[in-house]
Amino acid sequence: MRLGLISGYSGAHMGLPMDTILEAERAGFDSVWTAEAYGSDAVTPLAWIGALTKKIRLGTGIMQMPARTPAATAMTAMTL
């Protein structure tokens, strides 16, 4: 069984439960997920989480595809 952690989305104020995310990584969780809604971005928090973690996988639960072209989505993923 693989365990994943959902960090949710930040809204207008960027806030991530980094203590929880780091503890999940230490406990052997497979992945951490973010989501986005109007006014928040799913990818930017993943960049920060990726900078502070070593092996946990990163994923987006929801990415607003109508707000991005396929090319913009691909460039965002490659930047991450």
Q: What local confidence, expressed as pLDDT, does residue 36 receive?
A: 82
Q: What is the pLDDT of residues 43-69, one digit of tens each?
A: 888 899 999 999 999 998 877 777 788
Q: What local confidence, expressed as pLDDT, does residue 10 receive?
A: 64
Q: Other CB atoms closer than 10 Å to residue 26's CB: what's the count?
A: 11
Average pLDDT across the chain, whole number: 86
Rounded to 5 degrees, φ, ψ at 79 are -65, -40
| Residue 10 CB partners (closer than 8 Å, separation 6+) | 16, 40, 45
